[in-house]
């Protein structure tokens, strides 16, 4: 055997030995998930003429990989379901988070998605911390990362909304932190710890909210340059920052020490969340160990602003321009603190949003408002006339009618007959395209993708009896603002951009799903996907 062959064999055996004795597989130092609450896919491009080259969105799109046709595969398309779907790779029918709230038959009451009366608030005296992930029935990708490293990886969740921090982080997270709008402090739950971390207490002591209120909210650029939006101050917009306020500029000084919720309805709520994320990375030394850590961040102010002012408002445009700058700053921070190319980051959304009906009406586009409270009352009146019993329909939640099974059973009434009557009544209401008995969903003639989305959102103990499908651009909303929750593309088409470690620049219009995100992270990290995952790794990202 000649010398060259011996050298090659020695090199090969050495590399195999090193790989076998290496403490961890080759992985990024840190995984960062950024979920922009209520970000429609088109917002990646709608304001791109004003996104900065050194900001967040253009950098992610030019240096990262964008799955341009990412869809949510279930209804209802709302916050808790979206955050859970991203990090579990699953759907409500499996992971159990059937809405922000749902009526749980086994308990006989309405349940909030992260409620947990067995724990207490840590960080304030309010009840805002009586929360945990106990209602979540499956693992998250963070849980699987912790399992894969024998719990030596750290996983932390951060968001203004409790559900945006808790559900992404999972059951075994080292911490989840959210904003208490009654005190203006960031808090947690005794599910995670008994005392607030010193770094978060120190952040609270800075009274950051009051500083934002002191500066107020004016447009980043001259108001007349916001040509991507309708004119400022429309009659169909809400007035969360004061009943007498008529658009920009917003003087927030009167709220100092009085109204700590209003910060969420300004772009500074996102700024604050990213500040807390930076504090966590530094103090918890995320990305500094030999095992991969994970940070989940939800940016909630886009949702509050979008609900109130709508996607065509100057407020929304200004929020995204400011978010672009905040994201650019955050990427710079990650490059400096963790190392460029050493972290894996994705940006996505929990759902999109519909246009404000009043805005569409101005432009002769069909749209409308449905009053669910009035509809439920009329339904119960109709059922009383038909069956002689009051309050047979107990709730209209998540676009589903919940029947009072306990009452119906006690009176030995025919549930199937009552359900058929509910279907007939609801389908006859203005703005409603279809009403479907969820028990008989398989027998319904409906486009396959819509039927699958309804089925993926159905969990018997936590879902209703009849699914309502609205006409496009119809919604349960008041005279101002807008909402989301339906199967339609404006609610279900979301951004998904990958950036950093092992990500090659590019884009694809191949259809993928929100539920593919966690399996893709699992494939990249070479760990098991979450135990309820129904999604698949995205080949254009993992290849």
Query: What residues are labeled active site?
Result: 79
What HEC string does 361-416 produce? HHCCCCCEECCHHHHHHHHHHHHHHHHCCCCCEEEEECCEEEECHHHHHHCCCCHH
- CA triple 163-273-487, angle to 5 deg: 45
CB-count exposure of residue 439 (10 Å: 0-12, 13-18, 19+): middle
Integer Cα distance of 344 and 293 in angstroms: 10
Integer Cα distance of 276 and 282 in angstroms: 10
List, in order, residues 6 or more apart from 284 with CB less than 8 Å away.
154, 156, 174, 175, 197, 199, 293
Give the CA count within 13 Å in the CB-facing half-sphere of 518: 31
Integer Cα distance of 466 and 474 in angstroms: 18
List, in order, residues 6 or more apart from 471 with CB less than 8 Å away.
366, 368, 431, 432, 433
List, in order, residues 6 or more apart from 425 with CB less than 8 Å away.
378, 379, 382, 383, 435
Return the closest-CA partner of residue 334 out of 290, 288, 291.
Answer: 288
Integer Cα distance of 451 and 75 in angstroms: 10
Chain mean position to CA 460: 23
CB-count exposure of residue 390 (10 Å: 0-12, 13-18, 19+): exposed
Integer Cα distance of 485 and 487 in angstroms: 7
List, in order, residues 6 or more apart from 243 with CB less than 8 Å away.
none
Count of other CB atoms within 10 angstroms of residue 459: 18
CB 86 within 8 A of CB 517: yes
CA dihedral 280, 285, 291, 292 (to 10 degrees): 40
DSSP state of 447: -
Integer Cα distance of 162 and 113 in angstroms: 10
């Amino acid at each position: 055997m000649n010398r060259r062959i011996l050298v090659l064999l020695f090199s090969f055996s050495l590399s195999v030995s090193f790989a076998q004795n290496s403490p961890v597989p080759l992985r990024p130092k840190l995984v960062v998930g950024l979920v922009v609450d209520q970000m429609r896919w088109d917002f990646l491009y709608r304001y791109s003429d004003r996104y900065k080259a050194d900001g967040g969105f253009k950098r992610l799109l030019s240096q990262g990989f964008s799955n341009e046709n990412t869809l949510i595969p279930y209804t209802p398309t709302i916050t808790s379901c979206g955050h859970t779907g991203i990090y579990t790779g699953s759907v409500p029918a499996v992971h159990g988070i059937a809405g922000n709230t749902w009526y749980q038959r086994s308990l006989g009451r309405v349940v909030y998605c992260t409620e947990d009366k067995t724990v207490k608030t840590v960080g304030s005296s309010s009840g805002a911390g009586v929360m945990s992930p106990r209602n979540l029935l499956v693992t998250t990708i963070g849980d699987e990362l912790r399992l894969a490293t024998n719990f030596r990886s750290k996983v932390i969740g951060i968001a203004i909304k409790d559900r945006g921090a808790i559900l992404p982080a999972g059951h075994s997270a080292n911490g989840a932190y959210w904003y208490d709008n009654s005190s203006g402090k960031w808090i947690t739950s005794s599910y995670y710890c008994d005392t607030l971390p010193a770094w978060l207490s120190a952040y609270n002591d800075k009274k950051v909210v009051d500083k934002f209120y002191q500066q107020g909210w004016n447009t980043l650029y001259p108001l007349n340059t916001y040509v991507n939006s309708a004119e400022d101050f429309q009659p169909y917009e809400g007035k969360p920052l004061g009943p007498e306020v008529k658009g920009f500029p917003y003087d927030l000084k009167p709220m100092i020490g009085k109204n700590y919720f209003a910060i969420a309805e300004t772009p500074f709520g996102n700024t604050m969340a990213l500040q807390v994320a930076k504090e966590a990375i530094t103090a918890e030394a995320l990305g500094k160990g030999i095992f991969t850590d994970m940070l989940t961040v939800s940016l909630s102010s886009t949702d509050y602003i979008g609900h109130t002012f709508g996607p065509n408002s100057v407020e929304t445009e200004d929020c995204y321009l400011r978010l672009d700058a905040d994201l650019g700053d955050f990427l710079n921070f990650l490059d400096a603190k963790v190392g460029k190319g050493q972290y894996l980051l994705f940006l996505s959304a929990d759902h999109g949003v519909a246009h404000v009906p009043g805005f569409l009406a101005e432009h002769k586009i069909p749209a409308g408002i449905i009053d669910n409270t009035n509809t439920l009352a009329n339904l119960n009146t109709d059922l009383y006339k038909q069956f002689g019993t009051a309050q047979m329909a107990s709730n209209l939640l998540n676009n589903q009618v919940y029947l009072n099974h306990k009452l119906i059973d006690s009176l030995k009434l025919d549930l199937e007959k009552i359900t058929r009557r509910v279907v007939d009544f609801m389908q006859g209401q203005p703005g409603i395209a279809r009403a479907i008995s969820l028990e008989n969903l398989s027998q319904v003639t409906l486009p396959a993708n819509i039927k699958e989305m309804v089925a993926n959102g159905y969990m018997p103990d936590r879902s209703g009896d009849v699914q309502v499908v609205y006409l496009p651009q119809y919604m349960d909303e008041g005279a101002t603002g807008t909402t989301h929750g339906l199967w339609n593309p404006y609610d279900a088409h979301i951004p998904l951009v990958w950036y950093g470690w092992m990500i090659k620049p590019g884009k694809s219009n191949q259809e993928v799903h929100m539920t593919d995100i966690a399996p893709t992270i699992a494939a990249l990290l070479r760990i098991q996907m979450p135990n309820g995952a129904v999604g698949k790794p995205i080949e254009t990202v993992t290849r």
